[in-house]
Amino acid sequence: MDGQHWRLEPDPGRFGPLYEMVVVSESGRPPGAAITHRCPGCGREEYDSMKREFVLTAGMVADTDVLYLATTLWILVNRRVRDLLLDRRLTMSN
């Protein structure tokens, strides 16, 4: 992130504290997801979106409660996490 655009909230106690959730698991790549580019900075792979199949198979999913989808970086949770969030009436958007 570009440090020049950081601006401190004058009253962070209004909404905080906030915590970062670090997702360390990632799905496997779907069929047809040939790597078209690899970011020289972080190693993140990019795929040919026209050839990539939109499927999620059991073999692609790690045995974990929270994971990234490899090609979209969407964050998925399993039923245990879903139920926990709903039971606690936690709210989220985006």
Burial class of residue 5 in the structure, from the number of CB atoms within 10 Å of its CB (0-12 exposed, 13-18 middle, 19+ buried): exposed
Determine contact, residues 29/39, Cβ cutoff 8 Å. no
CB of 21 to Zn ion, least distance (A): 20
Can residue 42 be called a binding residue for Zn ion (CB under 5 A)? yes
Can residue 3 be called a binding residue for Zn ion (CB under 5 A)? no
Can residue 86 be called a binding residue for Zn ion (CB under 5 A)? no
Count of residues that bind Zn ion according to CB under 5 A: 4
Which structure tokens are listed for 80? Answer: 């245990």
CB of 37 to Zn ion, least distance (A): 10
